[in-house]
Amino acid sequence: MNILMISMDYPPTPGGISAHVQELSRALALQGNKVSVITRKRKNDQEHSKDGDIDIFRVPLTFAALVYGLQIRKFTRNLLDRIRPDIIHIHGMLPWNGTI
């Protein structure tokens, strides 16, 4: 199965959601799933990296927090043909209205 995780936080950002998404992603990958994570880009992060077998895509967010969802949605839409997820799991963010 091809799984896409979307979360505002992923290590090295500390916190409960960050740790949860990483551990869940690792467990799913160990079970033979293809796992990708879309998260926000921090100052020194690369836009694409690997965490073991997990592909990490980082969104360079700009503007105010009110439009973060729109930016992540646009970034995600641009990657859907590349990632081709069977399931999209969103963590710690408001639900998205409409479709991706």
Residue 45 CB contacts under 8 Å (≥ 6 apart), including other chains = 58
Using the Cα atoms of residue 45, residue 96, residue 37 and residue 11 in order, give the sign of their dihedral.
Answer: positive
pTM of the model: 0.86
- Residue 19 has a pLDDT of 96
Q: How far apart are CA 63 and CA 17, in angstroms?
A: 23
- Residue 55 has a pLDDT of 98
Question: What domains lie within the chain, and their CATH numbers?
Answer: 2-91 (3.40.50.2000)
Give mean pLDDT, residues 59-66.
75
